[in-house]
Amino acid sequence: MESGQDVGMQQIPANVYRSEERVTISAPMPGLEPQNVRIEVREGSVVLHGDLRGALKGDKEILLDEWTPGPYHREIDLPQGVDGERANVTYNNGVVVVSLPVAATTTTASLTLETVSPTKGERVGNTGRSAQPPGETG
């Protein structure tokens, strides 16, 4: 059996939803801590990345090794322009959710999470119901 020490990127499944105001992406990234999660909003896509965490330490006989907590990676094409700077991101129960306000053109951003607890993190880019920037009408 092989150890989880030399693990390649795991492409994760994702769900993508769209409303009039937001594009929302959710994806499972179990076993991470908030500081292990990074999101890149690029022109035309979003990249979800989770760093490897908790590799086996010490002398252990590995009997079965089918899953590791990272590294995770997924690039998802965006259906339209979004404002990456105003994105909200949460990581809870091993699932990352990225909520991106719809925009005429994409504003790129590198997003990280603030730790709420060892297994929960968030990034608040906009609050309240409206995802529109102040002074802009839909």
What are 49-93's pLDDT values in tens digits? 999 876 666 677 878 878 788 899 999 999 999 999 999 999 999
CATH of segment(s) 10-54+63-123: 2.60.40.790
Rounded to two decimals, the pTM is 0.82
Rounded to an integer, what distance in angstroms lies between the CA atom of residue 96 and that of residue 90? Answer: 6
Residues 54, 55, 59, 64, CA torsion sign: positive
User: CA 33, 35, 37 angle in degrees (round to 5)?
Assistant: 80
- 107-119 pLDDT, tens digit per residue, is 999 999 999 998 9
Phi and psi (nearest 5°) for 34?
Answer: -50, -35
Domain segments of the chain: what residues? Answer: 10-54+63-123
Distance separating alpha carbons of residues 41 and 83, to the nearest angstrom: 9
Whether residue 120 has pLDDT greater than 60: yes
